[in-house]
């Protein structure tokens, strides 16, 4: 971690200042040490340059496993494609001119696919994840001196309020125990006049009839390694089947609702091998999380209103993509 990160960190829950115990290296980074609360005396370890505010074993364990196992599958610099860049531009739209030198929070970074884009654009980036996916992201982002990784919970974020110029939270809210609280917490971390962006699964009356939700009562209880092995065993048959079926006009949309396999037929910039790896990754991603609670746009609107956001716009409503100002 960079020593300047201390200026915005605070103890989760209490908001108390944290005192560094550990000498910075010659490059100004701290690789090992502790952060000690000036209020409670509780110590939080810095391991491999990453402050750790949560236990290693937690409800997001499956995410940690998948992002460390499939670290480069969705990273633009590894695939040679630009899907993450295009997603960043479509869902946030913040340019290098806007982000350069500004503090930005990636709230739920995974392996760092979107963090890589923010880092390239010169932001002072803090990439947070609840799982040990931060270790995968640290490898992806190793070449960027403007990045810090933090392992912590968005239900108790370890930052002072109002310290970020920008914050985004993509595909994370629905996978937490309390989605409204996560939205409110991320908004509170943004300074007055700063911007935030959320992308959240959208809930319709028929959403929970989707095949993945019918299977999840079983699959989310399986050990992650067992579930992944099952998906890998089935994918040689399921990938070619769904790759053809999902392309059929009309029928393809119905098939995607009824067959819980994440085969993306619009990935023209990827090889079949890359698309296959992404199908394994995202099928595991849809069946393994402990929590999966989509929201309606009305629910998100109510949370933002209560959180004191100044204004916000829904770019899309299914899925929900909302960009706003504190």
Phi, psi angle pair for 157, to nearest 5°: -65, 140
What does each C-alpha distance from 133 to 56, 64, 68, 155, 300 come to in angstroms?
A: 11, 4, 6, 17, 27
Q: How many angstroms separate the CA atoms of 285 and 198, rounded?
A: 19
Q: How many angstroms separate the CA atoms of 42 and 36, rounded?
A: 6
Q: How many angstroms separate the CA atoms of 115 and 127, rounded?
A: 7
User: pLDDT tens digits for the chain (326 residues)?
Assistant: 999 999 999 999 999 999 999 888 777 899 999 999 999 999 999 999 999 999 988 888 899 999 999 999 999 999 999 999 999 999 999 999 999 999 999 999 999 999 999 999 999 999 999 999 999 999 999 999 999 999 999 999 999 999 999 999 999 999 999 999 999 999 999 999 999 999 999 999 999 999 999 999 999 999 999 999 999 999 999 999 999 999 999 999 999 999 999 999 988 889 999 999 999 999 999 999 999 999 999 999 999 999 999 999 999 999 999 999 99
Please report the DSSP string for 154-180 in residue order. Answer: TTS-SB-TT-EEEEEEES-GGGSS-HH
SS3 state at 262: coil
What residue ranges define each of the domains in the chain, with the CATH number in brackets? 57-202+295-325 (3.40.50.150), 207-287 (no CATH)
Per DSSP bridges, beta strands 311-317 and 320-325 are: antiparallel
The owner of tokens 């000036």 is: 38
The reply to whether the predicted model has a pTM over 0.75 is yes
């Amino acid at each position: 971690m960079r020593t300047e990160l201390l200026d915005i960190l605070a103890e989760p829950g209490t908001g108390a200042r944290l005192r560094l115990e550990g000498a910075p290296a010659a490059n100004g980074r701290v690789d090992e040490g502790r952060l000690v609360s000036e209020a409670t005396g509780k110590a939080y370890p810095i391991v491999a340059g990453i402050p750790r505010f949560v236990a290693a074993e937690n409800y997001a364990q499956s995410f940690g496993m998948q992002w460390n196992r499939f670290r480069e599958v969705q990273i633009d610099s590894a695939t040679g494609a630009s899907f993450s860049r295009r997603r960043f531009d479509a869902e946030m739209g913040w340019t290098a001119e806007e982000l350069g030198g500004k503090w930005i929070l990636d709230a739920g970074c995974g392996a760092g696919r979107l963090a890589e884009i923010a880092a390239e654009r010169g932001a002072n980036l803090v990439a947070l994840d609840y799982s040990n996916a931060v270790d995968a992201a640290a490898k992806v982002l190793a070449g960027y001196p403007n990045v810090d990784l933090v392992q912590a919970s968005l239900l108790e974020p370890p930052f002072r309020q109002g310290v970020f110029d920008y914050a985004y939270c993509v595909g994370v809210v629905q996978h937490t125990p309390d989605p409204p609280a996560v939205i409110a917490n991320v908004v509170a971390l943004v300074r007055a006049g700063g911007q935030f962006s959320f992308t959240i699964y959208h809930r319709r009356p028929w959403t929970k009839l989707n095949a993945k939700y019918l299977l999840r009562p079983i699959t989310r209880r399986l050990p992650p390694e067992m579930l992944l092995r099952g998906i890998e065993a089935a994918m040689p048959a399921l990938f070619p089947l769904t790759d053809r079926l999902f392309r059929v006009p009309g029928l393809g949309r119905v098939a995607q609702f009824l067959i819980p396999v994440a085969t993306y037929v619009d990935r023209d910039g990827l090889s079949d091998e890359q698309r296959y790896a992404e199908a394994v990754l995202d099928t595991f991603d849809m069946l393994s999380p402990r929590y999966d609670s989509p929201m309606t746009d009305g629910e998100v609107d109510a949370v933002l209103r209560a959180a004191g956001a100044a204004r916000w716009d829904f770019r899309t409503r299914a899925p929900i993509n909302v960009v706003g100002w504190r």
